[in-house]
Amino acid sequence: MKFQRRATADDIHINLTPMIDCLLFILIFLLLSTSFNQYSRMNLTLPDAQGVPTKSYEHKIEVVVDAKGQYTLNGQTLGGQSSNDLHHAIQQVANQRRDLSFIIAADAKASHQDVIRVMDVAGQLGFVNINISTKVPARGDE
């Protein structure tokens, strides 16, 4: 007697739709609950000078940059804050002499752009001896 086998070769189908739905919900939840911090500023603490003796120059050009961005050239406050005003004022003081000592003294709270503007104007005018003045902190100022 010969038995017949039943055809049990039914195709097995696994429905992946619920699993994909769950993964998408988890992904959306993670994206919505995650906070992305973007730090656009860096806090820099610049070092102070350590006791270099001051040099006295007979003929010098000293530009002081205060915290508001105002420029003072050899003790006289300039009317404007643009690079053109600074360019013309330095050119008048220099009288075609580019070998003078050029000193930049900036307030600690002066913006970086204001100091770079002075350096840029000095470089455009052809000064080769550019110094940045620093102040040695007194005891208790720290």
pLDDT tens-digit map of 51-95: 555 555 567 888 888 888 888 888 888 877 788 888 888 888 888
Domain count for the chain: 1
Half-sphere CA count of 81, side-chain side, radius 13 A: 12
Q: In what order do the strands lie in the sheet with 60-65?
A: 76-77, 71-73, 60-65, 101-106, 130-133
Instruction: With respect to residue 36, please indicate whether it lies within any of the assigned structural domains.
Output: no
Higher pLDDT, 25 or 115: 25
Could you read off the pLDDT of 93-120 as tens digits, one per residue? Answer: 888 777 778 888 888 888 888 888 888 8
Q: Report if residue 72 sits inside a domain.
A: yes
The overall pTM is greater than 0.85? no
**CA distances to 14, 17, 30, 69 from 22, in Å:** 15, 9, 12, 58
CATH number of the domain that 70 lies in? Answer: 3.30.420.270
CA atoms of 88 and 94, how far apart (whole Å): 10
Domain of 71, in residue numbers: 60-133
Judge contact between 128 and 98, C-beta under 8 A.
yes
* pLDDT for 39: 59
